[in-house]
Structures are given as structure tokens and as C-alpha cells.
Amino acid sequence: MCRCQRAAHGQGNFQENKSGQKGMSALGVFLKRLSYFAFIGVVFFPVNSEASYCSGKRLQEILGLSGQNKKVLEQFLSSYKDSTKKEAACFLVAGLPLSDALTLNKEALCENLDYAFLARRLMPWGKEVPWDIFLHYVLPFRVSQEPAERWRKYLFEKLASSVNRLSMKQAILFITKWCYRRAIYRPSSPWDLGTLEIIKLGWGRCEEKAILLIDALRSVSIPARLAFVPAWQHTDGNHAWVEVWIDGKWHIIDPATPQVSLDNPWFKPDFDLMPIVLVPVYGKRQNQAIIPELFINNIKMYNRHTNKLVIQLKDKNGKPLSHKKIYLSVYNHASLRPIVCLKTNSQGITRVRVGYGTYLLSAQDKDKWGIKLVSCLQGLAQKIILTLTDKPLKKQVFLFRYPLLKANRQSSTSFKELDKERKGETERRKRLLLEALRQLGLEDNHLLFTKLLAAGSDASSFLKILQKADADKRSWSIRDICQMSEKDIAECNPDKLYDSVILALEMRKKRALQGLNYPDEIFLKYVLNPRIFFEPWSNWRLEIKALLNSHFEDIPPRLFIKRLTEILNGLKKLKHIYFGPILTPGMVLRGRLITSDAEALIAAVAILRTFGIAARYQPSFGYVEVNLGNGWELLKNSFTHFDKMVSLKLSLRQINQKCHISPLIYGRDFTLAVFKNGHFQSFKYISGRWNSGHCYWEIRNIPYNQYYLIYGNRLGPDRAKVAVIPIKTPEVRQSNFHREVKVLFRE
């Protein structure tokens, strides 16, 4: 079970069609997956002028933040004189995330809006879709945090003629089968691809499969939206699927498996185990308790057994705390994972409806914190008071209970003829690629073969580059391709990737003349590597070189770092909304804006690598390290609030003093966490290893801090016992310290 996450482009246009399919435009391919935006009609609905998006505060905020792209957005808005289309254009711009506001061009925005209205006019059900439903669930060009792509025209041209004589339900099932034919379910890295790349690769995670189906439905004016469980409580993982609107009602369809009917997904037996179901709504800013306000809670559509919680947050003196955040968390992947964030009103009260289960409530106000375990196993409203304290958190043991899974899951429908056809096409592509590699003498490089297979029609461009390159550039290009993820291969431009390799080699030579040398392995992983973390794919090396060339190219490394720190300290931080990916390094530099500390640190790594300095980002603890030839050292800046690190050794023995007979796995058996911003945040990525000989886990390079060891056991199908143990790093700053913890791990 999964919930999929993120990717986008730093270019100033929607991503063009790279699917390689003949006779189809770029926007069309993407439109098929982004079901949010298919609204075009000759029958116009009246627009409420009092709530006009064209006069709203949000529109002016977005225009003010769009920098040099403001004129482009204004030109898009002025393209429409008709009041209905004008209002739709204003709605679209007012809902843009910062990454889109800084980069999208007029042509892409117009194409999306025009084809949405065209589909509304031509599809037999288009006129039946209410204006509000159209705006929120047909018109938008994005579903989640995927790249902004021009998919609508391609998908409309591909699907409209096939479904325009069908009923709305028949069209939905036809499109579901069409999408299944083009992409199978496959777990992968946690950033989202857009529709074009999903089709190109032929696979995607559950959220990516949902993006594809939603785009496809929206392309023919069928309202569709994403729904997801952030974290299961009865098992690990999460899931995302699609809700589709027919005749005034929302229905369920799961794109990860073959579907022959509505409202019958493979996870239907799990409905009554769902803690919450969140639905992101483009442009929806309700006066509600959930943060961000773009989310709605749709749990009642799924779970028959729910509780309404009324929570009041107070300080230690009993005074209500207004406009504060409260988190609800469940046990999942050896951590306490938030499933929803709520905000209190002026009386310190917030409300939420959840499924039966057990939830950890948590909140924080400066140095005051509070946690409380709440059991919701009856259908009664509960009034809960959560009180903050300044006392240190001692060891806590929680018993999480949740409903039993009472029904067996149905086996998925099999589209055998489609599976056979897809397998045959894959084998044909493999034969052609293998023959091309044989002509270059590269047929034995199996990793290169696997990577280029993901490139689809772009594989020929990669092969042409390798054929013309000299031996050194060819060797480094192959090594670079082989270290990239298949998703990045699908998204990248082969020629620009090769230009980036040439630039990296040139900068390595210049740094060598300044006395900075490093091994090939360091160069490959921490200079040449285009992937830093889970940022959207972009040609950041070429962008940064163009933006900073005259200021940075010949500066010695130490002075370079000083100049870089000045740039980082001058960045302006803005609020991030759910929709849209994080900013790429190029966007950060052009706008001198960020929506998170991570964006600043990822940009720092990109700048360092662009100019030949090895750098790496540690996402869990929020710091960057550089290598100036004498090992790794911390990059000091305003986003890193510590200067030294420590290694932690945790002796993890069972109660009987015996060492666990099998290796303990981080993220399955235990995690290390901090209590920050109102909830326990377990680190997903750590540097460490299990020492079975001495029965301890060593976690390396962590800042001095107050940490919490979280571990638990699922004692049966309906309960889990979870412990939270404080671990304070020593006041005397030693490089290593040892802590013995007796725990009861599962065998």
C-alpha cells in the first residue's frame, strides 16, 4: 500500500509532450491524466460577482509573488473578455502554487483553459457539470505535486471521439481501462511524475496512477479528484485512489488495479479501518479546522463507524489557546505518523471526525508541549482537553487499538489481453534497444540497458550522444546515466544532460588548478549527480551557471562558500500550500524565494556542485556538508542551527538481556524522532548500521538534541503496543555516546 509523492520542472512552460506517440500534442497526453480541468461550454453558468475570483485577495497575492512572470500571468488573464472564461482564468491563477506562478507561460495556460471549455461543450455530459464542480475538479491542470505539463489537448484528442457516444459511467470505465493499458502499478521513488512521463515509463505508484486517471477523466469534462489515507492504523503504509463525480454524487475507483465497476476497489474491506480520508481541492479555501485548508475530510463516505472529537487546547493554567495546531497520529512504520493537522478557534477548540481507533493527540506552543492518547471505539462524540506543560517527557507506553479486518479482500480483475499486449510491446522495445547497444559495443552493460529502456523514444537521442562523444565524456555520461533513477531518465532532456556532464568536467579541471582534488567516486556521487533529494527534475546546473557565472566561476572554494552563505541568508521565506512541488534550485535563485528550509539547502548543494565543489544534503537533520579535499565538513548558514554532531550507539536488548536473533531494521522495528512543531517527527533517512556482534545500532552524524526512541509491536490484528523513550545527548560534547535500552522486539 502506498501514497505517492513528487516532481516538477523548472522550465517556464508546461512540460512538453515527450511520450513519443505520433500525431498527439504534448498537452493532450498530460490532459488525459489530469482530470481536474476539462471545462468548456456554450451554456454558461452565472458567476457570483460578490465572490469573484478576479477581485479576490488571493489573486493579487499570487501576482505579487510571481516576479518577472507577473506580466505573463496578466497577459493570460487579459486574454478572455467573456465573463465566464475570465472568471475561470482568475480562479486558475489564484490557486497557483509558487512553483507554477514563477514559471508557467501564457500559451500553456490558455491551452489548458480552452480545451477544458471545449470538452465541456462537446461532451454530452459537459453541460450537466455544475460551475463550482467544474472549477475545482475539471479545470485545474494539476492533481497533486506532479510536474506542470501540457497534457489536456493530447488526452482530449486521444479520448473524446472514443467516449462521446457513451454514458458517463461507460466513459469512466473505458478511460480506466485505457489508463491501465498504458501504466501498471509499480512502487518507486517518492516524487511524483506527471502524466506524460507515466505513459512514457509505462508504470507508476498509486498516486501517479491516480494522477494519470484524473487527468484523463478531466480531459473529457468528467470531474475527478484525488483521495488518500495518509497512514493506515492497522498496518504500515498508506494509499491513494480516485473519486469521480456522476449525476451529483462522488464514486470510488482505484487505478492501481483493473476495474470493471465503480465503488468496488480492492481495499473495500479496509473502509471501516480507515482513520481519515483526505481530499485536496484546487482553489478551495474553506473556513474549517483542517490545515491546510485545501483539504476536506471525506471519512463518512467510506467508514460506517466514526467518532466526532471535540478538542480544546489549554495552557497549564487552564487558559484556552487559540489559533494553535493539534496533530492526530497513528502507529505506522515504527513511528507516530500524523494523519491530520487541525487548528483551534478563538476558544481553543477544534473538531474532527475520525474512524474507530486510537489516536495520539499532540500540540506545542514554544517550549510547552502536550500529548494525550484517545480511544475512539464507540460512535459517541468525545470532548477532550489537551493541556500543555513544560515538564520533560518521560518514558511513555501506549496501547493502540483499532477495528479488526472482518472481510477478505477480493482478488483483482485481470485484463489478460491487455497484459499480453503490453508485454509484447515491452519485449519489442527491449530487442531494438539491445541491438542499438550492440552496435556501440555496450550490450554487456545491463544497468545502462535498464536505464535507457525507461527513456522510451528518447533512448535514440541518448545513443546518438554516446556515439559522438569522446572516450572520457562518453565514459562519464554512461556513469551518470547509470546512477540516475528511471524517473529522472524519463524526464530529462538527453542533450541538456550531456551539456551538464561537460560543464561538470570543466569545473572539475578548474578546481584542480586551484588545488581542490577529489576521487572519481566523490565526483560522481556529489558533483556530477543531478539528483540531490526529492526535488523536481530540472536542468539546474545549466540554469545556475547562467545566473551566477560572472560572480562565482573563478572564486576560490573558501570565498565561494562565504558568497554562497550570503545568498542563502538573503532568501525570503513564504508559506507553502499543498499543490505543486517544492521549488527547484533555479526557481530559488531567480525569485530569491523559498517555501521551506529544504529548498534553500537543496539549492545550496546545486550551486556548490555546479561550480565543482562536492556537496551533499542530509534531509532528516537539515544540513549540508561540503568536501574541500580534507573530508566532509558542515556548511554553516542561517538554516542550520548547530555546529557539531555526534554518533549514537543504542544497545537494543530484549527484556531477558538477550540480543535479537535477527538484524533490527530501522523504519520497521524502531525509529529515532524529535518532538518538533507539535508532533513526533521520526527521521526517515539516517546514516547508521546494526552491529549484531555487540547488539547495538549505531546512528552516525546527528546534531546534539533531545531525541526519542520509538518502537512497537503489533500484538495481534487489532492492537499495537508502542513505547517512546527520551534520549538526551550529553551536555559535555563528546563525539560518541552509548545508551542501553531494554526493549521487547518481535522475533
Per-residue model confidence as pLDDT tens digits over 102-129: 999 999 999 999 999 999 999 999 999 9
Cα 113 to Cα 184: distance, rounded to the nearest angstrom? 29
Q: Which of 641, 667, 686 is the last residue of a domain?
A: 641
**Are residue 242 and residue 326 in the same domain, yes or no?**
no
Choose one of 279, 306, 327: the last residue of a domain: 279
Predicted local confidence at residue 20, as pLDDT? 40
Average pLDDT, the chain: 87
Euclidean distance between the first and final Cα of the chain, in Å?
24
Query: Among the ranges 40-54, 247-261, 573-587, which has the highest mean pLDDT value?
Result: 247-261
Count, residues in the chain = 747
Residue 41 has pLDDT above 70, yes or no: no
- pLDDT of 609 reads 98
Share of the chain above pLDDT 90, in %: 66
Residue 26 confidence (pLDDT): 32
Q: Is the pLDDT of residue 157 over 80?
A: yes
What's the burial of 212, exposed, middle or buried (CB within 10 Å: 0-12/13-18/19+)?
A: buried
Calculate the alpha carbon distances from 465 to 61, 101, 486, 494 in Å.
Answer: 44, 34, 18, 8
Judgement on whether residues 338 and 444 belong to the same structural domain of the protein: no
Q: Looking at the domain assignment, is residue 34 inside a domain?
A: yes
Q: Is residue 222 part of a domain?
A: yes
Mean pLDDT of 432-441: 93
Range of the domain at 682: 645-742
Is 5 a member of any domain?
Answer: no
Q: What integer is the mean pLDDT of 340-364?
A: 97
11 or 143: which leads in pLDDT: 143
The pLDDT-based confidence of 645 (bands split at 50, 70, 90) is confident
- pLDDT category at 738 given cuts 50, 70, 90 is low
Asked whether residue 429 falls in the same domain as residue 461, the answer is yes
Residue 249 or 647, more confident: 249
Q: What's this model's pTM, rounded to 2 decimal places?
A: 0.88
Identify whether 727 is part of a domain: yes
For residue 712, what is the domain's CATH number?
2.60.40
Q: Is the pLDDT of residue 458 over 50?
A: yes
**Is 210 in the same domain as 339?**
no
The type of residue at 721 is K
**Cell reading at 732:** 559535555
Identify whether residues 108 and 251 lie together within a single domain.
yes
Using the 8-state DSSP alphabet, how is residue 524 labeled? I
- Indicate whether 39 pLDDT > 50: no
Is the distance from CB of 290 to CB of 328 less than 8 angstroms? no
The reported pLDDT for the residue numbered 406 is 73
**CATH number for 370:** 2.60.40.1120
Residue 17 within a domain: no
Whether residue 139 is contained in a domain is answered as yes
Please, which pLDDT band fits residue 172 given cuts at 50, 70 and 90? very high
The predicted-structure confidence for 184-234, as pLDDT tens digits, reads as follows 888 887 888 999 999 988 888 899 999 999 999 999 999 999 999 999 999
User: Residues 260-283: what's their mean pLDDT?
Assistant: 94
Neighbours of 347 (CB within 10 A): 11
Same domain, 83 and 222: yes
d(CA 258, CA 11): 35
Mean pLDDT of 3-15: 42
pLDDT score for 1: 41
Residue 5 pLDDT: 34
Q: What is the pLDDT of residue 9?
A: 35
What integer pLDDT is reported at residue 413 of this predicted model?
58
Reduced to 3 states (helix: H, G, I; strand: E, B; else coil), residue 632 is: strand
Final residue before a domain boundary, out of 471, 486, 501: 486
In this structure, the answer to whether residues 577 and 726 fall within a common structural domain is no
SS3 642: coil
Same-domain status, 275 and 285: no
Q: Are residues 338 and 216 in the same domain?
A: no
Residue 611 lies in a domain: yes
The H-assigned helical ranges of 592-745 are 597-610
Q: Per-residue pLDDT tens for 651-664?
A: 776 656 667 666 77
Is there a single domain that holds both residue 289 and residue 381?
yes
Report the alpha-carbon distance of residue 443 to residue 439 in Å, rounded: 8
Give the CATH number for residue 574. 3.10.620.30
Given a cut of 90, whether residue 133 has pLDDT beyond it is yes
Q: Does residue 363 sit within a domain?
A: yes
Nearest alpha-carbon partner for 401 in 712, 746, 742: 712
Q: Are residues 626 and 655 in the same domain?
A: no
Angle of helix 459-468 relative to helix 494-513, nearest 10 degrees, comes to: 40
From the list 149, 132, 148, the residue with the least C-alpha distance to 53 is: 132
What nine digits make up the cell of 703? 546534531
Distance CA(638)–CA(636), nearest Å, equals 7
Looking at residue 743, its pLDDT comes to 58
Query: Which of 98-102, 189-193, 497-501 has the weakest average pLDDT?
Result: 189-193
pLDDT at 321: 98
Task: Tally the domains of the chain.
Answer: 5
Check pLDDT > 70 for residue 746. Answer: no
Q: Are residues 31 and 45 located together in one domain of the fold?
A: yes
- For residues 290 and 444, the answer to whether their CB atoms sit within 8 Å is no
For the stretch 284-316, pLDDT in tens is 766 678 888 889 999 999 999 999 999 999 999
More confident residue, 728 or 571: 571
